A and B are shown apart, each in its own frame.
Chain A
Amino acid sequence: MISLICFKELKSFFKSPIAYVIIGLFSLIIGWMFFNQLSYFLENIQKLPVHMRHEYDFSNEVIIKIFGNVNFLFIFIVPILTMRTFSEEFKDRTIDLYFGSVVSDFEFVLGKILAVFIQGLALISTTLIFPIMLANINISDVTFLLTGYLGIYLNFIFFATIGVVASSLVKNQIIAAMLGFVGIITTWMIAVGSQLTSNYMVTQLLKFMSVNHHFENMVKGYVSLSDLSFYLCFFMFGILLIKKRLEARKW
């Protein structure tokens, strides 16, 4: 049932023009950002004496920044991508098709959210053109790229979970997008909050709760169990919230 729902969602998404508008816009903006970062890097490296050029690291100056840019774009794109996930089902009353079937709430939620995650893969895959283009450049560590992509994808999952939860709360897609946006921004603000307090415990706690802290670790090439468990816990918490929301509808 999960695959049936997921496949239907993907078919519906890729049939609609909004999929191509979102992916097209994302590719355009990130392509422009990549071009700028690359030009800036080439300009700067040429100004440096030859013996110092190896210290001006391509990964740090271009790739990490591009990953950061992708992450920033997600704040705006993910709520638009997720806004209709559940709100449209509520508005059109198609949600009764699932309540009135053998599909469990869990299967329904997983099918829907899995489709969003695959949409995220499609979105992120457009950036693979950059490493392919740069295949001739000797990037010191390929795992660095892999952990970066893992970080980007896990961040997408994190933001998408917020967006999908927001979409399950209201019938109006625009309000769902706004709620998702506010939710994502709030999780960004946690990072700022961790810098505002001098209390060590509070700082550490806020740091752990900040998605950017975990994202930065991965983009820099460090993947820890703590980072992975953070994303997993948040995802499971999101699923639980949506399931509770669907159950509440019966009352």
Chain B
Amino acid sequence: MNAIEVDQITKSIGDRTILNNVTFKVKKSRIHGFLGPNGAGKTTTMRILCGLTQPSSGEVFFEGIPLSKYDNKLYHKIGFLIEDPPLYSDMRVDDYLKYVARLRSVNENDLKKQLDYCLDSLDLHEVKSRSIENLSRGFKQRVGIAQAIIHMPDIVFLDEPSLGLDPRSVAEIRTLISNLKENHTVILSSHLLHEMSLVCDDISIISKGRILESGPLENLRSSLEASSSFVLSAIEENKHFEDYLHAEPNISKFSIIDQGSYIDYHITLSVNEEIRPEVIKQAVNAEMDILGLEKKAFSLEEYFLRVTENHD
């Protein structure tokens, strides 16, 4: 069974449509990435899934049961960190986490065990007695994630958990999120596409309030490789070679990037056929001084840009 099914969610404010028939599914015990440019509707979708905002139409199902049927019981099931961590800066880390746990009706007998689980999972032991206002941004973010999992929810929503962190903290947060998969289903949104490609099992791409792609990352990887691209580096541009590139039906597009002492031809194929030998042959025939040819690896960033550009 799917952990979440989002069925044709629409959200309008006045004349503005923020989400338009958003539909996707999230499988259990997986990390589902939610990608989209700024203003695409990621946070609004997350808020609707968490029951914080009402959709104009459509329905969200948690394990097959409509969100509207859950009432307050939903909050035993989900935890979230949406946008900035909701922290009381005057509280100590452990007091804050205990307070949040009590708000979510965590049994007093389980409180210590779950607090320890959070402190361990997020490596917060050393700061547990410190006031939140004295923590670094990275630790505040961790406390924000800790409050999302303190009541051991089945599903955790994390909206931009790495925003504004230094590269080391980003890597640490990535490891933490990967570990969360053991006990939780995670829905994650981020602008850091490389990070997403490292932790996510599935992704959904949203732009202008519409879901453009949704599915396992592996499928997207295969579809990208089916239309793979490579870079041919040469000393200088060649008119005959460019005529060939224009004429070749298996090449969907190419671009030329001047690297100073040499140039790169970025060539994208429309079908998954091996035409590199033919391309090299044509370059040699055109008397080009070839420096090298490199197949480009899968890049979620490239995929994301391509999907959103096509939509535009």
Q: Do A and B bind each other?
A: yes
Whether, in the assembled complex, B76 has its beta carbon less than 8 Å from a beta carbon of chain A, the answer is yes
Docked complex: B62-80 residues within 8 A CB-CB of A: 72-73, 75-76, 78-80
Whether, in the assembled complex, B147 has its beta carbon less than 8 Å from a beta carbon of chain A, the answer is yes
Least distance between A41 CB and chain B CB atoms (Å): 44
Known contacts A12-B90, A92-B87: A97-B147 contact under CB 8 Å: yes
A250 touches B103 (CB 8 A): no
CA A119 – CA B76 in complex, angstroms? 33
Whether, in the assembled complex, A103 has its beta carbon less than 8 Å from a beta carbon of chain B, the answer is yes
Docked complex: A1-27 residues within 8 A CB-CB of B: 1, 4, 8, 12, 15-16
Whether, in the assembled complex, B216 has its beta carbon less than 8 Å from a beta carbon of chain A, the answer is no
Partner of A93, one of B50, B73, B76, B83: B83
Whether, in the assembled complex, A237 has its beta carbon less than 8 Å from a beta carbon of chain B, the answer is no
Whether, in the assembled complex, B294 has its beta carbon less than 8 Å from a beta carbon of chain A, the answer is no
**Chain B neighbourhood of A12, CB < 8 A:** 88, 90-91
CA A102 – CA B100 in complex, angstroms? 11
Partner of A101, one of B82, B87, B103: B103
**Chain A neighbourhood of B86, CB < 8 A:** 92-97
Least distance between A16 CB and chain B CB atoms (Å): 7
Docked complex: A156-184 residues within 8 A CB-CB of B: none
CA A4 – CA B80 in complex, angstroms? 21
B80 touches A100 (CB 8 A): yes
By beta carbon, the residue of chain B nearest A16 is B90
A103 touches B54 (CB 8 A): no
Whether, in the assembled complex, A130 has its beta carbon less than 8 Å from a beta carbon of chain B, the answer is no
A102 touches B87 (CB 8 A): no
**Chain A neighbourhood of B78, CB < 8 A:** 100
CA A48 – CA B83 in complex, angstroms? 72
B54 touches A251 (CB 8 A): yes
**Chain A neighbourhood of B83, CB < 8 A:** 93
**Chain B neighbourhood of A103, CB < 8 A:** 72, 103
Whether, in the assembled complex, B99 has its beta carbon less than 8 Å from a beta carbon of chain A, the answer is yes
Interface size in chain B (residues, C-beta < 8 A):
28
Least distance between A102 CB and chain B CB atoms (Å): 5
B105 touches A96 (CB 8 A): no
Docked complex: B17-75 residues within 8 A CB-CB of A: 50-54, 72-73, 75
Whether, in the assembled complex, A40 has its beta carbon less than 8 Å from a beta carbon of chain B, the answer is no
**Chain A neighbourhood of B53, CB < 8 A:** 250-251
CA A67 – CA B72 in complex, angstroms? 45
**Chain A neighbourhood of B147, CB < 8 A:** 97
Whether, in the assembled complex, A204 has its beta carbon less than 8 Å from a beta carbon of chain B, the answer is no
**Chain B neighbourhood of A251, CB < 8 A:** 53-54
**Chain A neighbourhood of B91, CB < 8 A:** 12
Docked complex: B81-133 residues within 8 A CB-CB of A: 82-84, 86-91, 99-100, 102-105
Q: What number of A-B contacts does a CB cutoff of 8 Å give? A: 62
By beta carbon, the residue of chain B nearest A8 is B99
**Chain A neighbourhood of B90, CB < 8 A:** 12, 15-16
Known contacts A93-B83, A93-B86, A100-B75: A250-B54 contact under CB 8 Å: yes
**Chain A neighbourhood of B99, CB < 8 A:** 4, 8
CA A102 – CA B88 in complex, angstroms? 19
**Chain A neighbourhood of B104, CB < 8 A:** 101-102
A94 touches B52 (CB 8 A): no
Partner of A4, one of B51, B54, B82, B102: B102
Least distance between A21 CB and chain B CB atoms (Å): 16
**Chain B neighbourhood of A15, CB < 8 A:** 90
Least distance between B24 CB and chain A CB atoms (Å): 22
CA A96 – CA B75 in complex, angstroms? 11
Partner of B75, one of A1, A16, A101: A101
Whether, in the assembled complex, A104 has its beta carbon less than 8 Å from a beta carbon of chain B, the answer is yes
Partner of B52, one of A4, A16, A104, A250: A250
By beta carbon, the residue of chain A nearest B131 is A15
Docked complex: A84-115 residues within 8 A CB-CB of B: 92-104
**Chain B neighbourhood of A93, CB < 8 A:** 82-84, 86
By beta carbon, the residue of chain B nearest A13 is B90
CA A92 – CA B86 in complex, angstroms? 6
Partner of B103, one of A1, A16, A92: A1
By beta carbon, the residue of chain B nearest A95 is B86
The 5 tightest CB contacts between A and B, nearest first, are A101-B103, A94-B86, A102-B72, A93-B86, A102-B105
The residues of A with any CB-CB pair to B shorter than 8 Å are 1, 4, 8, 12, 15-16, 92-104, 250-251
**Sample (27) of A-B pairs whose CB atoms are under 8 Å apart:** A1-B103, A12-B88, A12-B90, A12-B91, A15-B90, A92-B87, A92-B88, A92-B89, A93-B83, A93-B84, A93-B86, A94-B86, A94-B88, A96-B52, A96-B82, A97-B100, A97-B147, A99-B51, A100-B51, A100-B78, A101-B75, A101-B100, A102-B76, A103-B72, A103-B103, A250-B53, A251-B54
Given A97-B86, A97-B147, A250-B54, 18 more contacts at CB 8 Å? A4-B102, A12-B88, A16-B90, A92-B84, A92-B88, A93-B82, A93-B84, A95-B86, A96-B52, A97-B103, A100-B79, A101-B75, A101-B103, A101-B104, A102-B104, A103-B72, A104-B72, A251-B53
The residues of B with any CB-CB pair to A shorter than 8 Å are 50-54, 72-73, 75-76, 78-80, 82-84, 86-91, 99-100, 102-105, 147
